[in-house]
């Protein structure tokens, strides 16, 4: 053992710097893993320490209608404290600029939050809210977006409110929620005067409860579920919120770790490649050691120790860098988490990341190191003996490849906690590797086979470098290509989704939708919209209803039956259905026949059900459903099943009734218009909302902005991790160039000795790195275009978009980075006179 | 000390099996010296490698220092080499990352021996390199590197020393002093010597000459001036 350690140390003398550089390949992968998992621990601890503050109360009880007296009495009897809240959407007018915006109004009453603090800017806003009066606390984005200042007035319904401040932190709400519709907090006492409390207003009613000490909120929930099973109440407790937050966190954490892990695997390949070159330089030394009596195991162990040392050095550096990166991560997740995070180093996570790094490094090192066992002592006499031995098949290599695959799969399964997902990840990663490696081989082969003889010398020499012995073409294509693939895919998915939504508003299609229009307002609203320059293109009546029974089985029985596999949300929800005589442009009947008119007296009414809902509820044509249409039972059967393009900004429905059935029921309308530009949109919104304050509007532009905001946050975190992969690719490139440096120097010196100018030598390098960079970029980008097309087709069900200019720009950046890295890593080779280099490198 | 019987080595090639050594047989007693000579490609280095246990023969038998090598696996042959064999190569084959002294000590360190530096220094002194013990191969001239290799070859007190063209990469004067050292040490320590060489003068200093041609051993004659 002493000999092995001593020899490993001595043998590394001339190459320690280079070995350390090889270890850099795995540093970024380890840093990614350490930072993500340690940050995850920070978040979990933050969640634990602020557990009650996450909800602000022990229990939330929410209902789609005012909470009935028995519920309130029961809650009152618990002996705790109660606060109330009514949450609904409404249009807010910013009087200074006359702009409008859909906001989520929270009308609050009582001493909420009971735990944690309602923080406002300036401080004290929540106190003003409790004191009552017409004050409002707004989402900070509203202040910046509409130039509103504290003290300004805004209009909600019929009332004017004075802005008392902006929200900094409210327990019970994730800031992410606010992205969909900015929040506005007002005192409950000021609500009545706004005129927004009519029976037609869709609102959630919430009781927030602080329980007396020792009372278990989950036990209270169990009791209430039993006692009030007929009511559609939903409950939330601290433990439940923690569970769902924890699960979301685990998913994100697991996914980001996998992205970071790709960097580590790439780094492993980089290490394997660098060690391969290192070992090739050691053949003579190993052969001599074997001649002098070293066993195959001893020689192998010497280099295994070096590989292990490399792994440990890389892991240590990666862990340090990871902790540094971890400090920066809260900036990326700002606004997505409902509580503050204190920075601390989670040593178990650091150890886990570093451990994964060492294991991957050693496993990948084994591939080139196995060759050491097979260097015969005869190679000291004849170098060809080593090549002969290396050429024969080695079953251990297959075993190591299997071990690496198993380790990668095990890590993926461990990270995701799901066998299928982990194995799927491994399979996709393996496929990516195989495709890129196969393309690398093809490129190398093509460079040899097809490089035209008539090309200028520098071009031919540069291309020849792609297929010469010990070339790194395959390795570089795999590492750079995979990095490019990941980053570009994320970018394209984002573009595809946003284009799809934006495209919905093009060519005169609706881009502004008005909701909650009362029956008697529809005509006047259409007039007002027309007068404002954006006439109503489409409108649909909406009748709210609930399911009473499916195929003759009452909903209560279906819900109670544990063996029933119909999701409860489909049975409990309030359906907002419409009626009309024909299908619209966004729909297609896939089963049965659509009925445009029916007579309820003639038997069950034939209704049309959306494809996804029919699947969830296991409904087929002919199945009967009984509805409670605001107190009246309506007997229907499934007449047809429709597919619906939900992404189109047009009124779409789960259930469509034929004409002749629902006309007499209380209903509201939804109307869609097309506004040519932002000004036209503001104008028609003002015209409508001034006259009909109960009507709310959703502007497509705002939806796009909101989705973009959410996507950008998540994509930024994912892209940040993917950048580790790209950077690893560049480090692998540097390593590959440096490992081939000796060979390059010999060639360059020979070329210079034969009269090549420095410029010519540089041009040869430019051609080589340029071709490599272009190929990695093109192949990676093409894979990304394919990946995006598959995701768009099968996951998002939209048309894929791959803007040529942007993909080409991405390719340009990758190519430029490759060339720049190549030149930086190879600098010094062309700048010195041949003799000087010969002396230094001999 | 060395008994070789009907030794044959055949390599598979694309054009069919290639026999580079055909049924070579000879014996060498302890303390004797023998030169293997012949034109390029005659099988000299192959024979040397087989005798030293660096490769396996296709057929035939080798007994080295009382051990029959035929049935031994590579690690067992490595132990035999470490215990009984010394090597000097044409291209010196020093490990570039080790100093002269460290290179010399490798065979003993492989055995796990400690505190053997004085032996190494003494041998370096014997070959005239006491002052260069901490120099790396790259800092030594060709002649100096070969002397370090010679010191390394004798550090494990080998029973037999194999030399492959030991002066092939050296100038005339350096080669001459190297030859004196090889034969001097060989005499001092009673080592058996097997040497592959193209140099007729050097071959002539050995007690026996084994001539090879086309992989076959030619009838043997005594060297004209065995000293």
* Better-predicted residue by pLDDT, A334 or A253: A253
How far, in whole angstroms, is CA A184 from its chain's centroid? 28
> In Å, what is the CA distance from B123 to each residue of A9, B87, B154, B161?
24, 15, 8, 15
Judge whether A290 is closer than 8 Å to chain B, CB to CB: yes
- Alpha carbons B124 and A266: distance in angstroms, whole number: 47
Q: Per-domain residue ranges for chain A?
A: 1-51+244-417, 59-214, 418-506+702-842, 535-673
Q: What percent of chain A has pLDDT over 70?
A: 84
Contact state of A293 with B83 under an 8 Å Cβ cutoff: yes
The answer on pLDDT for B153 being more than 60 is: yes
Give the three-class secondary structure for B190.
coil
Which residues touch A746 (CB under 8 Å, ≥6 apart)? none
* Better-predicted residue by pLDDT, B44 or A711: B44
How confident is residue A749, by pLDDT bands cut at 50, 70 and 90? low
Judge whether B58 is closer than 8 Å to chain A, CB to CB: no
Determine the pLDDT at residue A115.
84
Residues of A with Cβ-Cβ distance to B138 under 8 angstroms: 842
Judge whether B83 is closer than 8 Å to chain A, CB to CB: yes
Determine the pLDDT at residue A713.
61
Contact state of B81 with A377 under an 8 Å Cβ cutoff: yes
Of B54, B109, B111, the CB nearest to A377: B54
How confident is residue A163, by pLDDT bands cut at 50, 70 and 90? very high
The answer on pLDDT for A45 being more than 90 is: no
- Alpha carbons A507 and A585: distance in angstroms, whole number: 14
Of B45, B78, B95, the CB nearest to A293: B78
Q: Which of residues 787-806 of A touch B (CB under 8 A)?
A: none
Contact state of B54 with A11 under an 8 Å Cβ cutoff: no
Which residues touch B112 (CB under 8 Å, ≥6 apart)? A2, A3
Pairing of strands A536-550, A234-237: unpaired
Peptide bond just before A141 cis, omega within 30 deg: no
E-assigned strands of B50-177? 59-64, 67-68, 85-88, 160-164
Q: Cβ distance A627 to A547 under 8 Å?
A: yes
The answer on pLDDT for A708 being more than 80 is: no
Determine the pLDDT at residue A842.
37
Give the three-class secondary structure for A548.
strand
Chain A residue whose CA is closest to B49: A378
Min Cα–Cα distance to chain B from A377, Å? 5
Q: To probe the interface with A, which of B78, B120, B163, B169 has the most A CB atoms within 10 Å?
A: B78
- Alpha carbons A220 and A234: distance in angstroms, whole number: 13
Determine the pLDDT at residue A377.
86
Determine the pLDDT at residue A841.
41
Determine the pLDDT at residue A592.
92
Chain A residue whose CA is closest to B138: A842
How confident is residue A174, by pLDDT bands cut at 50, 70 and 90? low
Contact state of A382 with B97 under an 8 Å Cβ cutoff: no
Residue pLDDT, tens place only, B78-130: 888 888 999 888 888 888 778 899 889 888 888 778 888 999 999 999 999 99
Judge whether B174 is closer than 8 Å to chain A, CB to CB: no
Q: Which of residues 342-371 of A touch B (CB under 8 A)?
A: none
Structure tokens at A314: 């890389």
Residue pLDDT, tens place only, A601-627: 888 999 999 998 998 888 999 999 999
Judge whether B164 is closer than 8 Å to chain A, CB to CB: yes
Contact state of A7 with B109 under an 8 Å Cβ cutoff: yes
Of A3, A284, A285, the CB nearest to B109: A3
The answer on pLDDT for B220 being more than 70 is: no
Judge whether B48 is closer than 8 Å to chain A, CB to CB: yes
> In Å, what is the CA distance from A369 to each residue of A272, A287, A315, A818?
9, 14, 20, 28
0.90 cut: is pTM over it? no
Judge whether A292 is closer than 8 Å to chain B, CB to CB: yes
- Alpha carbons A508 and A290: distance in angstroms, whole number: 81
- Alpha carbons A347 and A688: distance in angstroms, whole number: 59
Contact state of B164 with A381 under an 8 Å Cβ cutoff: yes
E-assigned strands of A202-343? 203-210, 234-237
Q: At what angle do helices A395-416 and A238-280 cross, to 10 degrees?
A: 160
Which helix (H) or strand (E) is A613 found in, with range?
A: helix A611-616
> In Å, what is the CA distance from A724 to each residue of A181, A250, A261, A731?
34, 21, 10, 10
- Alpha carbons A59 and A207: distance in angstroms, whole number: 8
How confident is residue B22, by pLDDT bands cut at 50, 70 and 90? very high
- Alpha carbons A465 and A457: distance in angstroms, whole number: 12
> Per-residue pLDDT averaged across A336-350, rounded?
76
* Better-predicted residue by pLDDT, A708 or B52: B52
Q: Cβ distance A211 to A205 under 8 Å?
A: no
Rg (CA), chain A: 34
The answer on pLDDT for A705 being more than 70 is: no
Residues of B with Cβ-Cβ distance to A374 under 8 angstroms: none
Residues of B with Cβ-Cβ distance to A380 under 8 angstroms: 54, 87, 89, 93
Q: What percent of chain A has pLDDT over 90?
A: 13
The domain B2-218 having CATH identifier 3.40.50.300: the answer here is yes
The answer on pLDDT for B223 being more than 70 is: no
Judge whether B89 is closer than 8 Å to chain A, CB to CB: yes
* Better-predicted residue by pLDDT, A814 or B160: B160
Q: To probe the interface with B, which of A9, A286, A292, A295 has the most B CB atoms within 10 Å?
A: A292
Determine the pLDDT at residue A837.
44
> Per-residue pLDDT averaged across A389-411, rounded?
85
Q: Which of residues 611-630 of A touch B (CB under 8 A)?
A: none
Q: To probe the interface with B, which of A282, A291, A300 has the most B CB atoms within 10 Å?
A: A291
The answer on pLDDT for B18 being more than 70 is: yes
Residues A313-322 as b or e (16 or more Cβ within 10 Å = b): bbbbbbbbbb
Q: Cβ distance A514 to A688 under 8 Å?
A: yes
Residue pLDDT, tens place only, A271-317: 887 788 788 888 888 888 888 888 888 889 999 998 898 889 989 99
> Per-residue pLDDT averaged across A98-113, rounded?
84
ipTM: 0.71
Q: DSSP labels for A416-442?
A: HS-HHHHHHHHHHHHHHHHHHHHHHHH
Q: Per-domain residue ranges for chain B?
A: 2-218
Give the range with max mean pLDDT: A32-41, A756-765, B175-184: B175-184
Judge whether A284 is closer than 8 Å to chain B, CB to CB: yes
- Alpha carbons A758 and A760: distance in angstroms, whole number: 5
Chain B residue whose CA is closest to A842: B138
Q: DSSP state, A663?
A: T
Residue pLDDT, tens place only, A182-240: 889 999 999 888 888 766 567 889 999 999 988 888 899 989 988 887 777 888 888 87
Min Cα–Cα distance to chain A from B109, Å? 6
> Per-residue pLDDT averaged across A554-559, rounded?
86
Q: DSSP labels for A718-758?
A: HHHHHHHHHHHHHHHHHHHHHHTHHHHHHHHHHHHHTT--H
| Neighbour count for residue B39 (Cβ, 10 Å) | 11
Give the three-class secondary structure for A522.
helix
The answer on pLDDT for A470 being more than 90 is: no
Min Cα–Cα distance to chain A from B152, Å? 9
Determine the pLDDT at residue A839.
41
The answer on pLDDT for A367 being more than 80 is: yes
- Alpha carbons A475 and A469: distance in angstroms, whole number: 14
Neighbouring C-alpha atoms within 13 Å toward the C-beta of A216: 4
How confident is residue A650, by pLDDT bands cut at 50, 70 and 90? low
Determine the pLDDT at residue A391.
67
Q: To probe the interface with B, which of A1, A381, A391 has the most B CB atoms within 10 Å?
A: A381
The answer on pLDDT for A833 being more than 80 is: no
The answer on pLDDT for A38 being more than 90 is: no
Residue given tokens 């991957």 in the structure block: A360
Q: DSSP state, A188?
A: G
Residue given tokens 């709310």 in the structure block: A696
Residues of B with Cβ-Cβ distance to A278 under 8 angstroms: none
> Per-residue pLDDT averaged across A174-185, rounded?
65
Peptide bond just before A597 cis, omega within 30 deg: no
Q: Cβ distance A285 to B96 under 8 Å?
A: yes
Determine the pLDDT at residue B207.
92
Q: How many CB pairs under 8 A join A and B?
A: 94
- Alpha carbons A356 and A351: distance in angstroms, whole number: 8
Following CA atoms A778, A780, A784, A787 in sequence, which dihedral angle do they give, to the nearest 10 degrees? 120
Instruction: Output the average pLDDT for chain A.
Output: 81
Contact state of B97 with A288 under an 8 Å Cβ cutoff: no
Neighbouring C-alpha atoms within 13 Å toward the C-beta of A651: 26
- Alpha carbons A659 and A662: distance in angstroms, whole number: 7
Give the range with max mean pLDDT: A44-58, A286-300, A411-425, A702-716: A286-300
Residue pLDDT, tens place only, A502-514: 555 455 667 788 8
The answer on pLDDT for B60 being more than 80 is: yes
Judge whether A294 is closer than 8 Å to chain B, CB to CB: yes
Of B54, B82, B93, the CB nearest to A284: B93
Contact state of B89 with A381 under an 8 Å Cβ cutoff: yes
- Alpha carbons B193 and A551: distance in angstroms, whole number: 102
Structure tokens at A734: 């540097």
> In Å, what is the CA distance from A528 to each residue of A524, A533, A667?
6, 9, 20
Residues of B with Cβ-Cβ distance to A298 under 8 angstroms: 110
Q: Which of residues 374-413 of A touch B (CB under 8 A)?
A: 376-378, 380-382, 385, 388
* Better-predicted residue by pLDDT, A501 or B217: B217
Contact state of B54 with A10 under an 8 Å Cβ cutoff: no
The answer on pLDDT for A424 being more than 70 is: yes
Determine the pLDDT at residue A463.
80
> In Å, what is the CA distance from A379 to each residue of A88, A290, A755?
82, 9, 35
């Amino acid at each position: 053992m002493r000999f092995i350690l001593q020899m490993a140390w001595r043998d590394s003398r001339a190459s320690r710097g280079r070995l350390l550089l090889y270890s850099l390949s795995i540093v970024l992968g380890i840093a990614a893993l350490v930072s993500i998992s340690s940050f995850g621990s920070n978040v979990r601890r933050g969640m634990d320490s602020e557990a009650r503050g996450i909800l602000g109360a022990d229990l939330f009880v929410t209902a789609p209608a005012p909470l009935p007296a028995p519920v309130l009495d029961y809650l009152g009897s618990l002996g705790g404290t109660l606060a109330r809240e009514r949450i609904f959407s409404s249009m807010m007018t910013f009087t200074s600029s006359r702009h409008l915006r859909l906001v989520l109004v929270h009308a609050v009453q009582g001493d909420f939050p009971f735990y944690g603090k309602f923080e406002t800017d300036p401080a004290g806003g929540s106190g003003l809210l409790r004191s009552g009066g017409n004050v409002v606390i707004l989402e900070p984005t509203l202040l910046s977006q509409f130039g509103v200042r504290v003290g300004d007035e805004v209009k909600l319904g019929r009332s004017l409110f004075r802005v008392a401040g902006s929200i900094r932190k409210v327990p019970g709400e994730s800031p992410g929620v606010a992205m969909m519709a900015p929040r506005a907090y007002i005192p409950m006492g000021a609500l009545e005067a706004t005129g927004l409390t009519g029976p037609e207003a869709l609102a959630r009613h919430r009781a927030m409860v602080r329980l007396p000490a020792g009372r278990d909120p989950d036990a209270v929930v169990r009791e209430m579920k039993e006692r009030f099973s007929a009511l559609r109440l939903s409950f939330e407790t601290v433990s439940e919120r923690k569970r769902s937050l924890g699960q979301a966190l685990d998913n994100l954490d697991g996914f980001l770790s996998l992205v970071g892990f790709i960097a580590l695997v790439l780094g492993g390949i980089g290490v394997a490649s660098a060690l391969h070159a290192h070992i090739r330089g050691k053949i003579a030394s190993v052969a001599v050691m074997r001649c002098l009596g070293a066993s195959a195991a001893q020689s192998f162990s010497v280099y295994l120790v070096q590989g292990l040392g490399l792994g440990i050095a890389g892991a240590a550096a990666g862990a340090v860098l990871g902790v540094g990166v971890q400090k920066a991560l809260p900036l990326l997740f700002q606004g997505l988490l409902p509580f503050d995070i204190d920075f601390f180093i989670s040593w178990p996570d650091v150890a886990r990341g570093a451990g994964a790094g060492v294991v991957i490094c050693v496993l990948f090192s084994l591939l080139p190191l196995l060759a050491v066992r097979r260097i015969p002592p005869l190679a000291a006499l004849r170098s060809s003996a080593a090549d002969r031995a290396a050429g024969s098949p080695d079953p251990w290599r297959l075993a190591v490849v299997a071990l690496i695959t198993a380790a990668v799969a095990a890590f993926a399964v461990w990270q995701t906690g799901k066998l299928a997902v982990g194995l799927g990840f491994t399979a996709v990663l393996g496929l990516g590797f195989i495709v890129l490696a196969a393309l690398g081989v093809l490129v190398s082969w093509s460079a040899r086979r097809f490089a035209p003889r008539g090309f200028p010398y520098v071009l031919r020499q540069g291309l020849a470098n792609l297929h010469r012995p010990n070339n790194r073409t395959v390795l570089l294509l795999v590492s750079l290509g995979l990095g490019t693939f990941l980053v570009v895919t994320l970018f394209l998915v984002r573009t595809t989704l946003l284009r799809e939504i934006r495209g919905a508003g093009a060519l005169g299609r609706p881009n502004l939708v008005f909701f909650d229009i009362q029956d008697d307002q529809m005509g006047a609203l259409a007039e007002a919209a027309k007068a404002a320059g954006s006439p109503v293109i489409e409108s649909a009546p909406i009748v709210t209803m609930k399911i009473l029974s499916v195929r003759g089985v009452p909903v209560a029985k279906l819900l109670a039956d544990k063996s029933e596999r119909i999701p409860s949300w489909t049975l409990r929800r309030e359906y907002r259905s419409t009626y009309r005589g024909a299908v619209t442009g966004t729909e297609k009947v896939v089963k049965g026949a659509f009925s445009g008119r029916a007579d309820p007296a003639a038997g069950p009414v034939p209704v049309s059900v959306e494809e996804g809902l029919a699947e969830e509820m296991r409904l087929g044509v002919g199945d009967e459903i009984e509805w409670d249409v605001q107190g009246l039972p309506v007997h229907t059967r499934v007449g047809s099943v429709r597919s619906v393009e939900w992404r189109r900004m047009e009124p779409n429905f789960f259930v469509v009734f034929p004409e002749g059935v629902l006309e007499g029921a209380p209903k509201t309308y939804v109307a869609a218009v097309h506004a040519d530009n932002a000004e036209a949109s503001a104008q028609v919104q003002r015209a409508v909302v001034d006259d009909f304050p109960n009507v709310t509007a959703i502007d497509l532009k705002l939806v796009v902005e909101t989705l973009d905001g959410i996507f950008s946050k998540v994509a930024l975190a994912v892209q940040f991790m993917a950048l580790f992969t790209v950077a690893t690719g560049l480090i692998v490139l540097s390593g590959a160039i440096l490992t081939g440096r000796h060979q390059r120097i010999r060639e360059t010196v020979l070329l210079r000795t034969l009269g090549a100018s420095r410029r010519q030598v540089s041009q040869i390098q430019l051609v080589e790195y340029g071709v490599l960079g272009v190929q990695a970029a093109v192949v990676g980008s093409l894979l990304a275009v394919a990946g995006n097309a598959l995701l768009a087709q099968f996951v998002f069900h939209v048309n894929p978009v791959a803007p040529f200019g942007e993909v080409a720009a991405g390719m340009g950046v990758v190519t430029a980075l490759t060339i720049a890295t190549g030149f930086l890593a190879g600098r010094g080779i062309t700048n010195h006179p041949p003799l000087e280099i010969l002396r230094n490198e001999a | 000390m060395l008994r070789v019987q009907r030794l044959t080595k055949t390599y598979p090639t694309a054009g069919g099996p290639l026999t580079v050594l055909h049924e070579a047989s000879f014996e060498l007693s302890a303390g004797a010296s023998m030169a293997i000579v012949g034109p390029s490609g005659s099988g000299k280095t192959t024979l040397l490698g087989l005798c030293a246990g660096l490769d396996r023969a296709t057929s035939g038998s080798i007994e080295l220092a009382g051990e029959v090598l035929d049935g031994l696996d590579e690690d067992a042959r490595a132990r035999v080499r470490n215990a009984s064999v010394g090597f000097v190569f044409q291209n010196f084959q020093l490990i570039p990352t080790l100093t002269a002294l460290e290179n010399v000590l490798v065979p003993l360190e492989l055995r796990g021996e400690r505190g053997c530096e004085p032996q190494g220094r003494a041998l370096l002194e014997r070959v005239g390199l006491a002052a260069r013990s901490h120099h790396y191969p790259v800092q030594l001239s060709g002649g100096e590197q070969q002397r370090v290799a010679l010191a390394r070859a004798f550090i494990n007190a080998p029973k037999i020393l194999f030399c492959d063209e030991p002066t092939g990469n050296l100038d005339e004067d350096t080669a001459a002093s190297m030859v004196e050292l090889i034969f001097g040490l060989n005499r001092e320590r009673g080592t058996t010597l097997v040497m592959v060489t193209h140099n007729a003068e050097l071959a002539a200093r050995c007690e026996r000459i084994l001539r090879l041609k086309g992989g076959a051993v030619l009838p043997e004659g005594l060297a004209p001036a065995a000293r």
